[in-house]
Amino acid sequence: MTQDLTTIISSATKTVEISRAMPTVIIGERINPTGRKAVLAALKEGNFDMVRQDAVNQVKAGAVVLDVNAGVPGVDEPALIQKMMGIVMEETDVPLCIDTADPAALEAALSVYSGKALINSVNGEERSLEAVLPLVKEHGAAVIGLCMDDDGIPETPEKRLQVAGKIIERAGKLGIGPEDIVIDPLALTMGADSSAGILAIESIKLIIAEFGVNITMGASNISFGMPDRKYINSTFIAMAILAGLTCPITNPMVAQVSIAIQAADLVMGRDDYGMAWIKAYRARQKALEAQS
């Protein structure tokens, strides 16, 4: 049986371990202008108030890693991502997930980061492997590997497994161990393909059985275009945790999602005597009482 691996990332002062033996690690998704017009407009104006607030609020809601994306069209992304990361590091002490498809922006971000970052991401395309993996090695980072390659996004779990294997093999040739590779099997919207959810879950199972690596996903993608997304997202994440998901990229400020993750960890035996569940319940009750 393949051994489950532990991925370690850190900030200057805090270390986070990602493993199926431990509670689910929430990577907060909200510091990202994609699909958020207000954030996009603010960043174009040089206003970082929403970045600060999103950083603080997500950590307060349970995120232990924060994804930072500076993809603003027409803006100097290397300079912007450095500025955004500096602000987030001032406001919180959690490790960061550097989210960019631009190698220059990635290198700029890594140059100012204190700790061991998680890079989002590399994929199986040759240009991506050649551009990103050397930076992962140079900076001693961990990296998310997306299950897509030069042929696009595979349509079966078996082919996604093959792409995961390619990424892990190529990383290994540079001396990057599988413990530093977090695979993203890709959650696509069920609004376009009703089998997208089960395809992602079956991909998780295959990849873990073969490699034992940790698993992430942009979990909110699964419900894009559907009504009542919070219920779809929370159900999908709980089911994916059972399959082996360890560090979803999601919005911890959606109560249904956070509660589903807490309940899944309890059911999976990762919450001794239910103490984390009870603590979260008391915090919810206190918040309700304050509102009444």
Domains in the chain: how many in total?
A: 1
pLDDT tens figures, 261-290:
999 999 999 999 999 999 999 999 998 999
Using a cut of 0.85, tell me whether the model's pTM lies above it.
yes
Whether 112 has a pLDDT exceeding 60, the answer reads yes
Spatial contact of 81 and 104, defined as CB atoms under 8 Å apart:
no
- Give me the domain span that covers residue 114: 7-291
| Residue 1 placed within a domain | no
Mean pLDDT (the chain) is 97
pLDDT for the residue numbered 206:
98
pLDDT tens figures, 152-165:
999 999 999 999 99
pLDDT for the residue numbered 281:
96
Alpha helix stretches (DSSP H) within 6-76: 37-44, 49-61
Burial of 208 (0-12, 13-18, 19+ CB in 10 A): buried
Pairing of strands 96-99, 65-69: parallel
Domain CATH code at residue 227: 3.20.20.20
pLDDT for the residue numbered 292:
80
Q: How many other CB atoms are there within 10 angstroms of residue 205's CB atom?
A: 16
Beta strands in the chain (DSSP E): 7-10, 15-18, 27-31, 65-69, 96-99, 118-123, 142-146, 181-184, 214-215, 249-250
Separation of alpha carbons 32 and 40, rounded Å: 8
| Residue 73 placed within a domain | yes
pLDDT for the residue numbered 162:
98
Task: Give 134's pLDDT tier (boundaries 50, 70, 90).
Answer: very high
pLDDT for the residue numbered 151:
97
Spatial contact of 128 and 152, defined as CB atoms under 8 Å apart:
no
pLDDT for the residue numbered 230:
96
| Residue 2 placed within a domain | no
User: What count of Cα atoms within 13 Å lies in the side-chain half-sphere of residue 134?
Assistant: 8
Mean per-residue pLDDT for 219-225?
94
| Residue 19 placed within a domain | yes
Q: How far apart are the first and last CA of the chain?
A: 52
| CB-based burial, 132-171: b 16+ in 10 Å, e otherwise | bbebbeebebbbbbbbbbeeeebeebeebbbbbbbbbebb
Whether 1 has a pLDDT exceeding 80, the answer reads no
Which tokens belong to 39? 């954030």
